[in-house]
Amino acid sequence: MTTLLQVTGLTKQFAEHKVVDDVHFILEDKTSTALIGPNGAGKTTTLSMLTGLLKPTAGSVRILDGDLRANIGFLPQYPQFHPWLSALEFTEMAARLNGVIAKKAKVEARKTLEFVGLGDAQHKKIATFSGGMKQRLGISQAIVHKPKLLLLDEPVSALDPVGRREVLDLLKGLQQDTTILYSTHILNDAEEMTDQLLFLQNGKLVEQGTLREVRQRFDEQKFVVEFGSEEEAKLFASPSDRVVGCYVYIEILNEEPTMKKLLHRLSVCTYTIRKVERQTASLEEIFMKVAKKA
């Protein structure tokens, strides 16, 4: 794996307030990274420094082959377009401004609009577009020149469930040959397509790693067994276990022996057993924990 983007000591200070504070991370080529954090954590500020729009107070952003602006595609949270232009005109212009030659730009623009599902609306004026269509157009202008790095600010937050599903699928289709960095506060989305997680809080990078790594760090090491009734649960539980209603939470000290012992106990008992599972923290739970820890 090669490193595409290296961010070192990135800091942005507005007056006395540090919005982004000494952030370091690396984006490997052709990976997807989710930038997660509550509102006001500094996600958008970080992204706009990566696009080069905002000058960092300190630190640097380095991309593999030199010029940042030539190698990125950027989708702002609320992309704004010139309403007088048609979708095709805008996408074609976007491609040409990034150096795609005129003839190829038109072909690429058509292909991209088809890809994002705006094939039928390509000649319509942007003024007539709905929110979901604008978001798709936003994606098409960001990818039409095939940038190495795709920066997306809350790409699906403003969409309804159907639109979100479609856009997520679109992005998954791009994952194979593009490096993607996107910010979100909707954790299910991050869970779905991500190689690396960056947790941002109050401008600081408080946690980072692959989804698996972060999980391991924050997972509760527990089995959960659901019984038919509360009495059964109480009767089954040993003193060290926690009982909540019909559920018994069993602390895992040593994975394999604990599991075997548990399965053995379950197989010989006469209670109604509804469910047995290894508890995995959802990203949301991890998020809350990280937020509390920081």
Partner 1 sequence: MRGFNILLQKEFKEAWRSWKFLWIPLVFALLGMSDPLTNYYMMDILNAVGNVPEGFEMLVPELMPVDLLQASIGQFQTIGLLVMMATFVGIISKERANGMATLFYVRPISFGAYFMSKFIVMSTVSFVSIFAGFAASVYYTSILYGTLDLGALLVSFCTYYVWLLFVIAVTLMMSASFKTVIATTCGFTVIFLGQIVDMIVGMFWTISPWKLPSYGILLARGTMEMLDYWWSVIITVVLTLIFINIGIMMMKRNASSTKI
Three-state SS annotation for 84-101: CCEHHHHHHHHHHHCCCC
Would you say 140 or 208 has its CB closer to partner 1? 140
Taking the least distance from each CB to partner 1, the nearer of 77 and 210 is: 77
For residues 48 and 122, which CB has a smaller minimum distance to partner 1 in the complex? Answer: 48
Q: Which two tokens stand for residue 85?
A: 């232009």
Residue number, 85 or 158, with CB nearest to partner 1: 85
Please state the closest distance from residue 207 (CB atom) to partner 1, in A: 25
In terms of CB distance, is 77 or 175 closer to partner 1? 77
Nearest distance from C-beta of residue 52 to partner 1, angstroms: 7
Query: Where does 70-173 show beta strands of DSSP type E?
Result: 72-75, 149-153
Q: How far is the CB of 251 from partner 1 (least distance, A)?
A: 46
Strands (E), the chain: 3-14, 17-28, 32-36, 58-63, 72-75, 149-153, 179-184, 196-201, 204-209, 222-227, 242-244, 247-251, 273-278
CB of 145 to partner 1, least distance (A): 9
Q: How far is the CB of 247 from partner 1 (least distance, A)?
A: 45
The footprint of partner 1 (CB under 8 A) covers: 44, 47-48, 51-55, 67, 69-70, 72, 74, 76-82, 84-85, 89, 93-94, 96-99, 141, 153
Q: How far is CA 19 from CA 45, 75, 255, in A?
A: 7, 21, 42
Contact 151, 97 (CB under 8 A): no
Q: Measured from the CB of residue 88, what is the shortest distance to partner 1 in angstroms?
A: 13
Q: 3-state class of 169 per DSSP?
A: helix
Choose between 76 and 286: whose C-beta lies nearer to partner 1. Answer: 76
Q: Provide the β-strand partners of residue 222.
A: 251
Secondary structure class of 143 (helix, strand, coil): helix
